[in-house]
Amino acid sequence: MEFTARHHRFGFPRLPVVMGIVNVTPDSFSDGGRWVDPGLAVEHGERLAAEGAAILDIGGESTRPGAVPVPEEEELRRVIPVVRALAGKVAVPLSIDTRKPGVARAALDAGASIVNDVESSREDPEMWQLVAASGAGYVAMHMQGSPETMQRDPRYTDVVSEVSAFLSGRLLRLAEAGVPPESVVLDPGIGFGKSPEQNLQLVRATGRLLGLGRPLMLGLSRKSFLGKLLGVEMPDRLPAALAATLWAARNGASFFRVHDVAATVQALRMDAMLGNCANSGGEAVA
Ligand code: HH2
Class of domain 2-273 as given by CATH: alpha beta
Q: What is the mean pLDDT of residues 7-17?
A: 96
Distance 73 CA to ligand 1 centre (A): 20
Q: What is the mean pLDDT of residues 144-150?
A: 90
What's the pLDDT band for 279 if we cut at 50, 70, 90? low
Q: How far apart are CA 65 and CA 152, in angstroms?
A: 9
Question: How far is CA 194 from each of CA 53, 84, 159, 173, 276, rounded to the nearest angstrom?
Answer: 27, 35, 8, 24, 29
CB atoms within 10 A of CB 10: 19
Does residue 283 carry a pLDDT above 60?
no
| pLDDT value of residue 277 | 62
pTM of the model: 0.96
Residues annotated catalytic, as ranges: 223, 257
Q: What is the mean pLDDT of residues 138-151?
A: 93
Spans of all domains in the chain: 2-273
Q: pLDDT tens digits, residue range 73-122? A: 999 999 999 999 999 999 999 999 999 999 999 999 999 999 999 999 99
| pLDDT value of residue 285 | 38
Q: pLDDT tens digits, residue range 50-72? A: 999 999 999 999 999 989 899 99
Does residue 230 carry a pLDDT above 80?
yes
What's the pLDDT band for 204 if we cut at 50, 70, 90? very high
Does residue 232 carry a pLDDT above 90?
yes
| pLDDT value of residue 286 | 35
What's the pLDDT band for 282 if we cut at 50, 70, 90? very low
Residues in the ligand 1 pocket, defined by CB under 6 Å: 21, 23, 25, 28-30, 59, 62-64, 97, 116, 118, 139, 141, 187, 189-190, 217, 219, 257
Does residue 236 carry a pLDDT above 60?
yes
Ligand 1 test: best mutation among 17, 64, 198, most atoms within 8 Å of CB?
64
